[in-house]
Every structure is written in structure tokens, then in C-alpha cells.
Amino acid sequence: GDVSRTLIRLEGFAESVAERTKDLIALLAAYGAPETLDAEATRTLWRAVGDLEALGASDHAAVWKVSVKPSDGPAIAAAARAAFASRVLYDWGGGLVWIATETGGFDAGAAVIRDAIAPLGGHATLVKASDAVRLATDVFQPLAPPLMDLTRKLKARFDPAGILNPGRMYAGV
């Protein structure tokens, strides 16, 4: 649904998990009663997170995978939300941000997202989009010129005829 949740997964030996769960419940008591899940509900929940079902994006949405420092995740999400309607899922403590949008223009928000991460470092990858968006947008984070030059040289060395997946990762490579 549209309810925000913070999910914490504890793993390890049963006694250790039980002790850490008890400690977390006590620490979080001021914020409301936390919900704990049994093993099957836990597997179902984390499968939904891993399959991006938890993002709640429609089948037509473009989906971005953005990797930044965890402290920068909210800034990236805020930039996207300020520019276009989007749904956001934070993973890995905010260092991995999944952004889904059905708006954002011909590039599905690439310019906005990549401009937001430029001063922060990190990268954005378009993991799902229509064919039209994929043709108009670099799927992978554009490389810095020296790294792109190295990539071109490596590709030319291993594929001098340029027949192996031309343009698959980067235009002109």
C-alpha cells in the first residue's frame, strides 16, 4: 500500500536473533509497537522487496536503480519527487534507492536523477522502461571521458570488428 515502513531483518542463531529482537523492541518502543513476523511471512516480505513488488510500481513505470552513500539517498528521492510523480523504495540503509515513475519525460527522469547524483557520486541505472525510453536514454551511468576512452579501447581490442553487442552498454561502443 501507500504506508511507509522501516524494515529490519535480523539473521543468525536463534538465541542471538531473539535477544537482538527483544533489544530492538525496547529501543523502538517510543515510536510505536513494532511488528515481528514469523519465518514464512518474513520470506514472503523479503521476496517482495527483492522482486521490487514493494515499490508498488505499475507495469508501465520506468524504474531506476540509484546507488549513493546512504546519507544521500533522501536527497536523490527528493529531487525526483520535486520534478515528477514517483514512488521510492530505499534499500541497504538508503544507499540503494529504487525510483519508479510513469512521468519524467522522454528520458524517464534521467536528466533529473543524474544531475542530482553528479555532485554526490554514485550512479543510476535504468532497469526497466519502454523501448522508446531505452532508445533515447543511456541505460547505464555515463562514464567520465577517460574511463569511456579506456572502455572504447578495451572493446576495440577484444572486438575489433565491432560485432559483439554494439551499443548495448554505451552508445558508440
98: domain range? Answer: 54-136
| Residue 25 half-sphere exposure toward CB, CA atoms < 13 A | 11
Q: Is residue 68 part of a domain?
A: yes
Give every strand in the sheet of 123-128, ordered side by side: 87-91, 96-101, 62-67, 123-128
Q: Is residue 165 part of a domain?
A: no
List the beta strands (DSSP E) in the chain.
62-67, 87-91, 96-101, 123-128
Q: Is residue 99 part of a domain?
A: yes
- Check whether 70 has a pLDDT greater than 60: yes
- Check whether 134 has a pLDDT greater than 60: yes
Q: Is residue 152 part of a domain?
A: no
Q: Is residue 44 part of a domain?
A: no
CATH of the domain at 115: 3.30.70.920
Q: Is residue 170 part of a domain?
A: no
- Check whether 95 has a pLDDT greater than 70: yes
Domains: count for the chain: 1
Backbone angles phi, psi at 34, to 5 degrees: -70, 155
Q: Is residue 158 part of a domain?
A: no
Q: Is residue 9 part of a domain?
A: no
pTM: 0.76
pLDDT for the residue numbered 141: 87
* 87-91 and 123-128 beta bridge pairing: unpaired
